[in-house]
Amino acid sequence: MTSPLNTVILGAGPTGLAAAYELSIHGKPVDVVEKSQAVGGLSRTTELLGCQFDLGPHIFIRRNERIVNFWKLIGENQMFSLHENSKQYFRGKAFGSFSEIFLSLPVTEQASIAASFLRRSLLPKPRPSSYRDQMVNDYGDKMYSVFHEGPQKKFWGVDPGHIERKWAHRMLSRPSFLAMAKRMIHAWMNQSKKAKAKADAEPTGAGHVFFHHKNGSGHLYDHLKEITEKTGIAKFHLQSEVTGIHHQHDRITAVDTQTRDGTHAVTGEHFISTLPLNDFVGMLKPKPPQDVIDAASKLYFRDLVMVNFVVDGNPFDGQWLQIISDDLQAYRITNFRNLSDAMGRGPLCPLSVEYNCFRGDDFWRKSDAQIIELAKDELEKSGLVQTQRVVGSSVLRAKNAYPVYFIGYQDHVQTVTEYLAGFKNLQSIGRSAIYRYNNMGHAVESGLLAADHLLGRKTDVGGLDVLDGTKDIYNNV
């Protein structure tokens, strides 16, 4: 089943695929082991009635020249750049910017937001320790409770008082008092109809330009698999779930894979794992020390239920709609046709509604029919889509969508990564394997860097610091 001196790559998401491609085009045999029947991981694209759906919006964020050139090469002529045009849903209406939402509030609420912002600027909470404390200090109690608390609770599934403080500045850069005061005054002064009309005409986030794949991100990764296989020295073992990882004398020796025909062992010289950090530790044979098992067992992920709808006609403007207020359970609604016309078919438009949850919770265990009904009700309630125009729907459940940044998680990650660093032939890279909000740029870069290391090129091994997800974090991921 395996070749001599091969590298075994666990997981065929963007990270694993980039590593497999780079190694095989340089003559190094690889075996890629993937539990799903398709490649692409969280960046895969699915199809319904000829329409294409990514797992939420999947935009390619410019990272560095190597990555941009890689996307252009692999994406052939299918990649194009476009401006962000996202919207925010708040209390029954879609808005183009936060200033517009602020102006839509009753004057008394506007004044209370401004007063609480001023109060916290003068009297901040000493030593803020959580996301909530930090946001309250940055924006004031009222603005935090109106705009931030609800979406963050939905996103994490835990009270933002238990979330790591630094997350506040990963999602939004820290506002200065002067900048915030200026924004509010500017919003008030621009209440005239003329100024509002101008603001409406400008797409939100017009400063953000990103790449998109004409048919959805997963098509780039399907193509990457195809050209990697063409080298003749890359084998893809799909529908093969890694269930055990054997090690001896500081080296990984083999992995057990569960396939439809039973269990197989895949052996290799080197191993690159993109599996979730906690799963990896749980599969080690023999077991690691107890403190490593304990640390890994504390790490957990937020999961995702995606409801895909095919709608007759394009129902609304904007690429995606972030849900700010609590009247909808959904976290985000995406209109893929407004990201790329080719993702629709004829008059049919692909839309998705995202629900963050934990596997096994009440939401996750609802039947597909119940979830579709709920999502339809919410679309109707949002005023965006008349559901008699829905001609098809499906539900997709994705595990390990977001590593939860609870207070203290870094210590557990460090305990596990320090232990894994002791294996001389293992690189553990990728979003879930390093428990970080890596985007596709980070993923591809970490795959290429891991391959560089095995090819003897001088780079930062595994590149954990280079690939620190804090560096160009973008709130879409």
Ligand X SMILES: Cc1cc2nc3c(=O)[nH]c(=O)nc-3n(C[C@H](O)[C@H](O)[C@H](O)COP(=O)(O)OP(=O)(O)OC[C@H]3O[C@@H](n4cnc5c(N)ncnc54)[C@H](O)[C@@H]3O)c2cc1C
Nearer to ligand X, 84 or 133 (CB): 84
Instruction: Say whether 192 sits in a helix, a strand or coil.
Output: coil
Nearer to ligand X, 146 or 443 (CB): 443
Pattern of binders to ligand X over 300-339, x per CB under 6 A?
A: ----x-----------------------------------
Q: Scanning residues 72 to 111, which ones bind ligand X (CB under 6 A)?
A: none
With binding defined as CB under 6 A, does residue 351 bind ligand X? no
With binding defined as CB under 6 A, does residue 350 bind ligand X? no
Task: State the nearest-atom distance from the C-beta of 459 to ligand X, in Å.
Answer: 18
Please state, in angstroms and rounded to a whole number, the distance separating the CA atoms of residues 272 and 288: 18
In this structure, how many other beta carbons lie within 10 angstroms of the beta carbon of residue 230?
A: 11
Q: From residue 181, how far is each of 102, 177, 187 by CA, in Å?
A: 13, 6, 10
Task: State the nearest-atom distance from the C-beta of 438 to ligand X, in Å.
Answer: 5
For residue 449, the number of C-alpha atoms closer than 13 Å in the C-beta half-sphere is: 20
Task: State the nearest-atom distance from the C-beta of 372 to ligand X, in Å.
Answer: 19
Instruction: Say whether 112 sits in a helix, a strand or coil.
Output: helix
CA dihedral 74, 77, 83, 88 (to 10 degrees): -70
Q: Scanning residues 385 to 404, which ones bind ligand X (CB under 6 A)?
A: 401
Please count the residues of the chain.
477
| 8 A C-beta contact, residue 42 and residue 248 | no
Please tell me the count of residues contacting ligand X according to CB under 6 A. 37
Residue ranges of the alpha helices (H) in 123-216? 131-139, 141-143, 149-156, 167-171, 177-189, 193-201
Please state, in angstroms and rounded to a whole number, the distance separating the CA atoms of residues 443 and 18: 8
Task: State the nearest-atom distance from the C-beta of 118 to ligand X, in Å.
Answer: 36
Query: Beta strand pairing status for 7-10 and 270-273?
Result: parallel
Listed ranges 144-152, 314-322, 373-381, 437-445: which one lies at the site for ligand X (CB under 6 A): 437-445
With binding defined as CB under 6 A, does residue 15 bind ligand X? yes
Nearer to ligand X, 133 or 452 (CB): 452
Instruction: Give me 235's structure tokens.
Output: 């084998």
Task: State the nearest-atom distance from the C-beta of 214 to ligand X, in Å.
Answer: 16
Task: State the nearest-atom distance from the C-beta of 212 to ligand X, in Å.
Answer: 9
In this structure, how many other beta carbons lie within 10 angstroms of the beta carbon of residue 161?
A: 12
Please state, in angstroms and rounded to a whole number, the distance separating the CA atoms of residues 441 and 427: 18
Task: State the nearest-atom distance from the C-beta of 458 to ligand X, in Å.
Answer: 24
Listed ranges 40-48, 322-330, 373-381, 413-421: which one lies at the site for ligand X (CB under 6 A): 40-48
Among 22, 31, 34, 84, binds ligand X (CB under 6 A): 34
Task: State the nearest-atom distance from the C-beta of 109 to ligand X, in Å.
Answer: 31
With binding defined as CB under 6 A, does residue 439 bind ligand X? yes
With binding defined as CB under 6 A, does residue 12 bind ligand X? yes
Q: Scanning residues 253 to 272, which ones bind ligand X (CB under 6 A)?
A: none
Please state, in angstroms and rounded to a whole number, the distance separating the CA atoms of residues 151 and 366: 22
Among 41, 203, 218, 463, binds ligand X (CB under 6 A): 41
With binding defined as CB under 6 A, does residue 214 bind ligand X? no
With binding defined as CB under 6 A, does residue 43 bind ligand X? yes
Asked if the peptide bond before residue 128 counts as cis, ω within 30 degrees of 0, the response is no
With binding defined as CB under 6 A, does residue 216 bind ligand X? no
Q: From residue 72, how far is each of 60, 75, 81, 447 by CA, in Å?
A: 11, 5, 11, 17
Listed ranges 38-46, 68-76, 337-345, 457-465: which one lies at the site for ligand X (CB under 6 A): 38-46
List residues binding ligand X (CB under 6 A): 10-16, 33-36, 41-43, 55-59, 61, 241-242, 274-275, 279, 304, 401, 430-432, 438-441, 443, 476-477
